[in-house]
Every structure is written in C-alpha cells, then in structure tokens.
Amino acid sequence: GENVEQHPSTLSVQEGDSAVIKCTYSDSASNYFPWYKQELGKGPQLIIDIRSNVGEKKDQRIAVTLNKTAKHFSLHITETQPEDSAVYFCAASGGSQGNLIFGKGTKLSVKP
C-alpha cells in the first residue's frame, strides 16, 4: 500500500523567511495530494491540494509542487508570519486505497 514520508519533523524559521516541507510517496497510482495545517487544540484543516495532472499550484503565500517522476511533492510558504506556526501534514490518496495516507507531520515555528 501507499507510504508517505515527510521531512523535516521540525522546522524553525525567522518571520519573513520561506519554509519548505517535503514529502515522498510510494504508490505511483496516487493522484491527489492535500496539505493540512493543525493548530494547537484544533483538528487538521485543508490549506491547499494538488492533483497529479498539475505540477504546481499557488494560493497567495502558499504553493505546492509535484514531481510525479520522482514521487515527491513539497509545500512552500513564503514571507512566513508567526500565525503560520503549526503542524503541517502532507497526504496522498487515489492509489490502491482510496483513503488519505498521511505523513508524520512537520512542526513549523516562525519566530518574530
């Protein structure tokens, strides 16, 4: 079945810097890749997603890139702000199993 690896597990950046979180997946049939943000005391919330027929997608300061050949996808946050501090999860689905398979999460800390 699908396996999703996520790096790094923790990431600390200065306010205004960029942050990049990377994920790899194993099932070449997977074709949907969402990113979820989890703030303290809350459940994960979808922030951006990408389908396999697209190489890049951007929404204001957030962008996701997908390399199907290498089976990896990345989340890019530019001009980070303290409120970006949270745990970010990547996920993949659409392969041999329909449900989302999550990465372990990345704890992002943005220092003012």
Partner 1 sequence: EPEVTQTPSHQVTQMGQEVILRCVPISNHLYFYWYRQILGQKVEFLVSFYNNEISEKSEIFDDQFSVERPDGSNFTLKIRSTKLEDSAMYFCASNGQGIYTEKLFFGSGTQLSVL
Q: Which residues bind partner 1 (CB under 8 A)?
A: 4, 32, 34, 36, 41-46, 49, 51, 89, 91, 93-94, 97-105
The least CB distance from residue 16 to partner 1, in Å, is 28
Nearer to partner 1, 41 or 112 (CB): 41
Instruction: Report the residue number, 11 or 78, with the smaller CB distance to partner 1.
Output: 11
Question: Please, what's the b/e burial string for 40-57 (b: 16 or more CB within 10 A of its CB; e: otherwise)?
Answer: eeeebeebbebebeeeee
Tell me the longest C-alpha to C-alpha distance in the chain: 43
- Rank residues 32 and 76 by Cβ distance to partner 1 and give the closer one: 32
Q: CA-to-CA distance for 17 and 26, rounded, in angstroms? A: 30
Closer CB to partner 1, residue 71 or residue 78?
A: 71
Q: In 15-105, at which residue ranges do the beta strands (DSSP E only) sit?
A: 19-25, 32-38, 45-51, 56-59, 62-67, 72-77, 86-92, 101-102
Smallest gap from Cβ 43 to partner 1, in A, equals 3
Nearest approach, Cβ of residue 42 and partner 1 (Å): 5
